[in-house]
Structure 1
Amino acid sequence: MDYDGKPLRKPAETGTWASIRETLKVGIQALLIALVVRTLLFQPFNIPSGSLVPTLLIGDYLFVSKYSYGYSKYSLPLSEYIPIQAEGRIWGADPKRGDIAVFKLPKDNSTDYIKRVIGLPGDKIQMIDGVLNINGKAVKRERIADYETTDPYGQPTKVPQYMETLPNGVVHRVIERDGDNGFWDKTELYTVPPGHFFMMGDNRDNSTDSRDLANVGYVPFANLVGRAEMIFFSIDEGTPAWQVWNWPAHVRWSRLFTTIH
C-alpha cells in the first residue's frame, strides 16, 4: 500500500509492450491454425524427382488432402519421432485405383514418396513387355505423340508416350524412356497383401516403386499420408523457388492451380 493506505496500482502497459504482446498473440494463433490445417486438411509438398513425369514434373509444388483417406499416425507432423505403434486409421477411406498418393516409405516409415495407386488389396500385378497387367488382363494403352525430355546427359530427346486406361476408367499418361525393354518392364507376378497397395510411377523406366520389393514393396494402408489434389506452383528444374527475380522466365504459368489426375 502507499502512504495513505490505498493499494498500489500496477503501472499501465506502455503502448510498445502492448503492441508486442498483441503481435505475439496473433502469431501464436496463426501458427496453431496453420498446424491444424497442415495436420487435418492440406499439406504442401514439392516434387524432387521425375518418377511421375509426365503427370508431375520436378519443380511442381502441390497440395495433398490429408482427409481423403482418413488419419493415421503418419498424418501427424514428425510422425517418425512419435513412439506409438498404431497401425490403423480413423475415418479411413480406401484410395481409388489411379489416385496419386503421398505415403511414408515402408522401409523406414519416414521418407515421403509419391506414386500412383495401381494395385488394390488382393490384386495380381505384373509387367509383361512394358504392358501393365492387372488380374490377368492387359491394361489398355494407346500410343500418342512422343514426350520431349532430356537424356541422362542433359541432351534433348523424345521417348515413347502412351495413354493408359486403368480398369476403373482412370486415364493417364505414361512414358517408357527405355522402350518396352526397361529393367522393370518384365517382372514377376505380384499379389498385393490385404491392407496394402501397389504403387507405381508414370515414368515407368525411371521410378523406384512397388515393383522393387527390396526398397519400396507393398504399401500399408496406415502409411498413406494423403491424395495429391492440385499444383499451386511450378518452376523449371534447377531454379530455386525463392529466387523471385527468376519467376517471369522460369515459372511454368500454365501449370499453376491445375488439378492432378
Structure 2
Amino acid sequence: MSLGGKIAVVTGAGTGIGQGIAVELGKRGAKVAVHYNRSDAGAKETAERIAAAGGEAFIVQADVSNRPEIERLMEQVARHFGGIDILVNNAALQLNVPFLEYTGHQFDRMMDTNLKGYWRCMQAVVPYMKERGGGRIVIISSVHAKRATDFDPVYGMTKGGIRMLGREGAIELAKYNITVNMIEPGAVTVGRQSARDARPFHTPEEKEKLKSRPPRPLTAKFPLGRVGLPSDVGSLVCYLVSGEAEFMTGSAFRLDGGSMLL
C-alpha cells in the first residue's frame, strides 16, 4: 500500500499513537509533517524513525487550541512540501480529573484542544486539499465516544463530540472529494513518555491530589491477548488515506482487540 507523493500532517506526533501513525505513513512513502506542542524531543525521535525507514519528515510546533497557530502550521507545511493531502487529527489532552472536581478552566482547556482543535484543523486544511483536488482526513477518537469513562468524564464528552464532528465533516466535505473517517482505539500502550510528562499540565496542588488517589486497576479484558500498539492505529490510518478507501467516508472504526464485546 504505497502512499508515495502524498503529504500528511499528523498532529500530536511527538508521542504515543501520533508517533506510531506518523512513522507508518512515512514507511509507506508519504511526506510527513510531524506536529508537536510540548514534546519536542519526541518529535525529533519521530522524525528520526521516519528518516531511518527511508521517509521524509518536517517538524512543526503549534498549539492546536489556538486558531492562528493552526493556520500557521498548515501554511508552513504547504510551503515546505508543496501542499497537503492528508490530515490526521490526533493531538488531545486527558487530565483524569473526577466529575465533581473539574474546574471551568480545565473543562474549557479540554474542549479547546480535543474538540475545537480538531474542528479548527479541519477548517484550516481544507483550502489546501481543495487545491490538490481532494484529500483524506482521519480523526482519532476513542472507544469512549461510545462508552462512558470512569476516569475522565470531560475526555469522554470530547470524544463523543468528535464522533459527530466526523460525521458532519464527511457530509460537508464530500463535494470537495475529501473523505472524513474516525478511528476509535481502545487501550493502547504508549510507553512512559507522554505530553503531560514533558511539561505537566497540572498545578502542583492538582498533582498532589492525583497522587493521593489509589491506582485504578486494569479490569478490561482483551480477547486477542494484548492491548493495542501505536503501529496498529497507524496501519489502519494508512488504509483509510489510501486510494483503496476512496468510497469510505463518515465511518467510525473501533480498534480495541474486541474488548468492548465483553
TM-score range, shorter chain: under 0.3
Higher relative helix content: 2
Report the structure number with the largest CA radius of gyration.
Answer: 1
TM-score, with length taken from structure 2: 0.23
Higher relative strand content: 1
